[in-house]
Structure 1
Amino acid sequence: MQQRTAAHRVHTLRRQGVLAMLRHVHDHPAATRADAARALGLSSGSAAEISTRLKGLRLAEETAGPQTGGRGRPSPVLTAHPRGPLVCAVSIGHEEWRMCTVEIGGRVVAEDSGRNPAGGARPVLDVLRGRIAAAYGEHGPRLRAVSVAVAGTVRRTTIVQASGMGWYGIDLEPLRPAPGTPLLVGNDASMAGLAEARRGTGAGARVSLHLTVEVGVGGILIVDGVPVDGATGAGGEFGHMPFGDPALDCPCGARGCWDLAVDGRAMARALGRPEPRDPRTEAGRILTSAAGDPAARAAAGAAAAALGRGVGALVNALDPELVTLSGLAAGLVATAPEELNGAYTAALMRFRRADPPPLLPSALGGRGPLLGAAEAAFDTLLSDAGLEAWSGTLT
C-alpha cells in the first residue's frame, strides 16, 4: 500500500512538472530549457527529464535558437511539436467570420475568413460547420477543441441573443466536429479581453479590465489570467448597464443601456440622422470626418464622454490595475481625448484620481477575439484531463 502511494505521488509530481513546463512553453514561445528551469524553479536535470517527456508525448520539441552573434552554439528553444495538438478558433462578427488553426505557443498555422452569407444564422453555421469538418478531416484527433467567439450574449454553447445580427437562441452544437471534442463559446469582447491579458497590453497585470466598442460595449474582467464571465458564461455584458438615456429602448429588452450612448447609433442620433443599419461603419465615417466637421466632432465628443463616465464607474466597482481599449473605443480616445479623459476622471472616486488605472490601447486589435478563442481552447488542453486525453491518442 505504501509503495503504491509513493508511486502515485511520484507520478503526480511528474505530471505536474510536465504540465507546468508545457504551460511555460505555451505562454513563452521560443523559451529555452534553461529559461523554463529558472522560471519554474527546476534543476537542470529535472528540466531535461521533463523536456524529454514532452518530446515523447509529442507536445514540444527543441529546435535551434536564433544566432546571437556571440561565441558558441545558441541554446535550443522549446517549441510546439510538429505533430502535436492543435485547436480551432472561430470568430463570428456582424459582417464576417474568421477561423484559424493554432498550435501550442499561439502560432497560427492556417487561417480562413469570409463574409457572412445572407439568411440569418443557419447559412453562416453551415459554412463554418463545413470548414471545421474539413480541418478535423485533415488533422484528426490532433484537433483537440473548437472555440467560438461571437458578437452576442452567450450561455454555455448557446447564443442567447445577438441583437445586431438578429440571432436569438442559436445553439452552436452543430459546430462540434466529433463527439467528445470540447466546444467552447464566448462573447467576442470577452475573448478579446482574455487574449489582451495574456498576450497583449494587459500581460503581466493581475487584474485588468478590457472594453471594446463595436455595436455597443462589451468586455471582461480578467483576474490572474482567468476571465470572470459568470455562472453560465454570460458575464461581461457591460453595455447593458443603465449608463445611457433611460428613455431609450435597447434591442436587448432593457432601457437606458450604455450601448446606446457610445456607438454609431449615438453619434448618428446626435447629428439628427436616422439609426444606421450598420452602426460600426457609420461610427467610422463620423470619426473620420470629425477633424474637419465641428458637428461630427461634437457627436464624437459626446460619445467619448459617455464612454469615459462608464469606464470610471466600472473602475470604481472592479478595481483593475489597468483598462485596455479596442475597436471604436480606441478611435474615441484618439478623436476626443479631452472629453473621454475628463469624464473618466470626474466619475472616479476621489481617492483614485491621483493615480487612476491607465486607459491603454489594445495591442491585438481586431485579431483579439480569434486569439482569445484559441487561448480558451488551449485551457482545456493544458490541464490534467486534457493531457490524459491527448496521451490516449498516442497509443
Structure 2
Amino acid sequence: MVTSPRLGTGANQEAIRRHNLSTMLRHVHLAGPTSRAELTTAMGLNRSTIGGLAGELAELGLTTTAPASTGARQGAGRPSQSVAAADDGPFVVAVDLGVDRIIVARIGLAGLVHERAEEPVGGDREAWRVAADIAALVRRVADGAPSGAPMVGIGIAVPGLVRRRDGLVRLAPNLGWVDVSPGPMVLAALGVDVPVVIGNDADLGALAEHHRGVGVAIEDLVYVSGHVGVGAGVVAGGVPLAGAGGYAGEIGHLRLTAGGGECHCGNHGCFETAVGASAIAETVGCPPERLAGLEAVLEAFDTAPPGLGAIGREVGEGLAGIVNAFNPRMVVMGGYFRFLYRLVPGDVTAGLDSATLPAPRESVTLCLPGLGSDSVLLGAAELALEPLLADPVGVLRAPRLSPTA
C-alpha cells in the first residue's frame, strides 16, 4: 500500500502558526484596530495563543498594541489590549493608471494612504514612457517612507484587458496598447526587484469596495468604472469574477446598436460610444482638451445640463443587461458615473427599470462608492498586499531591495 508522506510535528506546528499569523493580520487589515478579546472569539484560540501571535506580528513590524476601549473589556481583570496595523510598517505602492493621468500612492496595512502623487500621461502614451513616469512617481512616494519600512510590492491598475496569469495587458484601447507587459518596464526603470502585480481597474475597484467600501458584507456586486472608457468589476458569491483569462467585465464593449459610432476597440455601436467620457463631454459642453477633468466638470454642476438625462437613461439601459446576467445585490457607480448619477438619478433608474427583468430588479440597489475616487487605487493596493497577508513571515524574510537604495 502506498501512503502519502505526512508532515512531522514540527513542520505541522509551523504551518499552523503561520496560518494563524495570516488570519490575525488579515482580520486587523480589514477590520481595523481589534481587541485581543475580540480576536480570541473570532479566531477560536485561547488568550495566551492570541497574545503570542500579536507579539510576533509586532516584532515583524506589522502591528502595534494599545489599551482597548472599555467596551472591549470582557469579564474581570485587566482590559484587553487592541491590535492595530503599524503606521510605519511594510507598505506597497499602488498605481491607478488612467488614459490621461497617473495616480500613485504609498499605502500600508488597513488601507492607510500615507502619501500620493499625480502626473498627466504623456501625449504619445508609449508604454515605455508611461512606465518611466510610473517609476518616477513610485520612487517619489517611496522615498518618504519611514526608515527601515520595506516596500513589499507594487500594484498597477490598468484600463484594459489584463491576462490574469502574468499581468500582460492584451488590449487597452484607450491607451493604444496591445500585448504590453508594463510590470517589467516599471521595474527596469526603478532598478529594483520587487513583486509587481497588474489588474484591470474596474476589477480592482470592485475588490476595494467589497473589502472596505460600500460593499462590505455584500456577496454579489458590480462596480461600474467610468473614466475615459467604461468597464465593470464583478463579485459573485463573495469571489471576484475574473473569467477564464481574466478578461471578464468589459461592459463598455457590449455592442448595443449595429449602426453606432466607432469605438476605440475597432467595433461600432459599443456601450462606451454612447456613455463614455467623449459622449458625456460633448453633451455638457466640455472641450476635448479637458476630457481628463470630466469628473470635476460634472461635479461643478448643481443641476443636470440639457441632454445629460438621455445619457443617464442609456446608462441605466446598459446596466440592465448586467443586472439580468449577474443578479447583483448592488451596483456601485464609480468614476464619472458618480457625478452623472448624482445629477440624473431618476433617468438612470428609469433606464434600468425599462429593461431589467422584474425578479433581479427587486434585489438590486444603485449606490455611490464608499471610497470615493480612491476605489481603484485601494484595490491595486489590496492586490499588492495579498502575498504579505497570506504569509507575512515568508514575505518579510525574503531578500528584497529597497527602492530608495
The verdict on a shared fold, with TM-score over 0.5 as the criterion, is: yes
Q: Report the CA distance between 1:242 and its aligned residue.
A: 1.3
203-212 vs 56-65, greater mean Cα deviation: 56-65
Superposition TM-score, scaled by structure 1 size: 0.85
Which residue, out of 52, 57, 60, partners 1:57? 60
The yes-or-no answer on 1:252 pairing with 2:258 is no
Which residue, out of 309, 314, 334, partners 2:322? 314
Q: Report the CA distance between 1:342 and its aligned residue.
A: 1.4
Q: Residues of 2 paired with 1:277 and 1:371: CA distance?
A: 28
Q: What is residue 123 of structure 1 aligned with on the other side?
A: 129
Q: Residues of 1 paired with 2:258 and 2:70: CA distance?
A: 59
Which residue, out of 166, 185, 202, partners 1:189? 202
Q: What is residue 378 of structure 1 aligned with on the other side?
A: 385
AA in 1 matched with 2:331: V
Q: Residues of 2 paired with 1:230 and 1:123: CA distance?
A: 30
Q: Residues of 1 paired with 2:192 and 2:236: CA distance?
A: 32
The gaps in structure 2 that reach 5 residues or longer are: 401-405
SS at match of 1:21: helix
Q: What is residue 361 of structure 1 aligned with on the other side?
A: 368
In structure 2, the CA distance between the partners of 1:312 and 1:128, relative to structure 1 (3 Å rule), is same
AA in 2 matched with 1:239: G
* Partners of 1:141 and 1:393 within 8 A in 2: no
SS at match of 2:34: coil
Q: Residues of 2 paired with 1:180 and 1:248: CA distance?
A: 44
Q: What is residue 403 of structure 2 aligned with on the other side?
A: none
**Any idea what the Cα deviations from partners look like across 1:90-146, whole Å, max 9, x if unmatched?**
112233212111222111222222233444234332222234346667667821111
Q: What is residue 163 of structure 1 aligned with on the other side?
A: 173
AA in 2 matched with 1:369: V
Q: Residues of 2 paired with 1:331 and 1:99: CA distance?
A: 23
Superposition TM-score, scaled by structure 2 size: 0.83
Q: Residues of 1 paired with 2:271 and 2:219: CA distance?
A: 27
AA in 2 matched with 1:93: G
**Any idea what the Cα deviations from partners look like across 1:267-292, whole Å, max 9, x if unmatched?**
46668x89945545468657856837
- Root-mean-square deviation (CA, aligned residues, Å) is 3.3
AA in 2 matched with 1:200: G
Q: What is residue 87 of structure 1 aligned with on the other side?
A: 92
* Partners of 1:263 and 1:328 within 8 A in 2: no
**Any idea what the Cα deviations from partners look like across 1:197-216, whole Å, max 9, x if unmatched?**
11111111112111122223
**With CA pairs under 8 Å and 6+ residues apart, which has the higher RCO, 1 or 2?**
2
SS at match of 2:111: coil
Q: What is residue 18 of structure 1 aligned with on the other side?
A: 21
1:188-267 aligned within 5 A: 188-223=201-236, 226-244=239-257, 246-267=259-280
Q: Report the CA distance between 1:31 and its aligned residue.
A: 1.4
In structure 2, the CA distance between the partners of 1:25 and 1:282, relative to structure 1 (3 Å rule), is closer
SS at match of 2:21: helix
Q: Residues of 2 paired with 1:19 and 1:53: CA distance?
A: 11
In structure 2, the CA distance between the partners of 1:281 and 1:104, relative to structure 1 (3 Å rule), is closer
SS at match of 1:382: helix
In structure 2, the CA distance between the partners of 1:300 and 1:45, relative to structure 1 (3 Å rule), is same
SS at match of 2:381: helix
Q: Report the CA distance between 1:235 and its aligned residue.
A: 2.5
* Partners of 2:174 and 2:229 within 8 A in 1: no
* Partners of 2:260 and 2:270 within 8 A in 1: no
The gaps in structure 1 that reach 5 residues or longer are: none
In structure 2, the CA distance between the partners of 1:82 and 1:365, relative to structure 1 (3 Å rule), is closer
Q: What is residue 175 of structure 1 aligned with on the other side?
A: 186
In structure 2, the CA distance between the partners of 1:252 and 1:2, relative to structure 1 (3 Å rule), is closer
Q: Residues of 2 paired with 1:26 and 1:51: CA distance?
A: 13
Q: What is residue 117 of structure 2 aligned with on the other side?
A: 112
Q: Residues of 2 paired with 1:101 and 1:52: CA distance?
A: 25
Q: Report the CA distance between 1:357 and its aligned residue.
A: 0.6
Q: Residues of 1 paired with 2:191 and 2:329: CA distance?
A: 41
> How many equivalent residue pairs?
387
